[in-house]
Structures are given as C-alpha cells and as structure tokens.
Amino acid sequence: MKSVHLLHAGRYAYRKLTGQWKTFHWRILHGNEPAPDGLPYPPPHLCFPVAANYDPVHFFSTGKTGAAAILNILRKNGRKIDDFERILDFGCGCGRIARHWQNLEGLKIYGTDINPKLIEWSRKSLTFGQFSTNGLESALEYADNSFDFVYAVAVFGHFREELQKHWMNELRRVLKPGGFLLITIKGRDRIGELNEEEAARFRSGRLVVIEPEWSGANYCLAYHPDSYFRNVLAGDMEILYYEPSGSPDTAQDVYLLR
C-alpha cells in the first residue's frame, strides 16, 4: 500500500512540475491572447485536470464540441437550451463547456466543482455565470427544485459507487419537477481499457471502479454497464435518450433523463 501512495505522490509531483512549465511557456508565447470566443484561455496547468491535456487550444476545441453535442441531443428530444431558465454544470472545472453559453440571453448559468482553483479561475474569467465549490460527499448549496437542466459530462467516471448514488440523489434534488439531466459515462465502447477480470465484471452488469480511494480525482476510473446505469443510478427517472459514445468530446455514453 505504501508503494501505491508513493506512486501517486510521484505522479502528482511530476504533473505539477509539468503544468507549471507548460503554463510558463504558454504565457511567454501567447501572453493574454484570448480564445475565439473572446474569453481568456485557462492556463495549461488548469486545463489538464479537466481535459487530461495541457493544450488550451485543445481545451477550447473539446469544450465547443461538447457544447454542440448537448445542443444536438436536446434538439433530438424536442428541446432547445434557451427553453430553460437555470442550468447547472456539475463538475464544471474551469468552464470547458459552460463558457460556450455566454451569449444565451435570459439564461442563468451555474457551475460547481470540487477543485477550488478551477472555480476561482471561472469566477474571475467567466463573469456571466455563478460558480461555487462543493465537497466530495457534501450537499450542493442550491435549494430543492432549482434547475430546469443539469448536465454532468465526464464526472461520474471518477466516483466510487456510494458517491455515484449520493450525487445522483443530489442532482435529482436540485432538479425542478420535469427537469432534464444529461450524464456521460464510460460505457461499453471503453471496455478495451479493462483487464480480463474487470471486463468480465463489466459484462456481468456490475460497475467497475479502479482505484476508488482516489474518488474525485482523475486516478479513479469508473466504467458503467448500461444495465447498471438504468437499474441502479437512473432509478425511476425516465430515460429519454441513450447513445453509446454519443459524447464525442469524451468518447463516453450519453443519457438524457427526466
């Protein structure tokens, strides 16, 4: 066990030093160059925890793709994003997707994340939205029935099982009656990332969680069979839409629930 913790400590130190260097290098080359949407790019060391890539241009591009996918899924289900009044980006990071809603008039944008550094950047740079932190196992700061639409893109893939259930209940709590919840997960098309024992567990319909002690961080990886998501996490929510690998920015399965 001690060797495992040392391995993670080494990974963290390496990632931190790499991020600091790439951020320094980016600022020398690009200074305060804005992104195509006129908003600032996050520095590379903040891009990595969100997009697993230090490149701010890649960060912006995948966020744009993710936002377009959300619009397309809503459209397939007879909805437009400006039908809503209040939207919550759960696990928003530094606004990879949320930044693409800045021009939607009359729509209130909220974001929450476990990482205070990402939220601090979002508050300073994405002033059209309201951003807050949440604990790993806490309740959200929002009242019951607060949002018409909540989405969690590439978030549930980093929680141990009991946290998956906790956060599903919490997101249902803050949804208005009849509200919509969009979630992406690592599903059947990601089974090649598992070893034989893990893959067998997945095929039997059971959740697979790798390194659950690192829940909330990228080291924890959760893989969801469709049957597990439907029967355990979705519960009595209506599944309006399901598409394997339907989230092109993350290569994850996508569900739209009500």
Distance CA 29, CA 37 (A): 19
Distance CA 31, CA 38 (A): 14
Question: Would the pLDDT of 27 be above 80?
Answer: no
Summarize pLDDT for 116-129 with one digit per residue, the tens. Answer: 999 999 999 999 99
Summarize pLDDT for 210-220 with one digit per residue, the tens. Answer: 999 999 998 89
Amino acid sitting at position 172: R
State residue 32's pLDDT score.
Answer: 74
Q: Is 127 helix (H, G, I), strand (E, B) or coil?
A: coil
Summarize pLDDT for 147-181 with one digit per residue, the tens. Answer: 999 999 999 999 999 999 999 999 999 999 999 99
For 73-109, b where at least 16 C-beta lie within 10 A, e where not — what string?
bbeeeebebeebebbbbbbbbbbbbbbbbbeeeebbb
On whether residue 90 sits in a domain, the answer given is yes
Domains of the chain: total: 1
Q: Kindly state the average pLDDT of the residues 37-61.
A: 94
On whether residue 28 sits in a domain, the answer given is no
On whether residue 219 sits in a domain, the answer given is yes
How long, in residues, is the chain?
Answer: 258
Question: Would the pLDDT of 9 be above 50?
Answer: no
On whether residue 152 sits in a domain, the answer given is yes
Work out the pLDDT band at 8, boundaries 50, 70, 90: very low
| Domain housing 165 | 56-257
H/E segment holding residue 255: strand 252-257
On whether residue 178 sits in a domain, the answer given is yes
- Report the CATH number that the domain containing residue 164 is assigned in CATH: 3.40.50.150
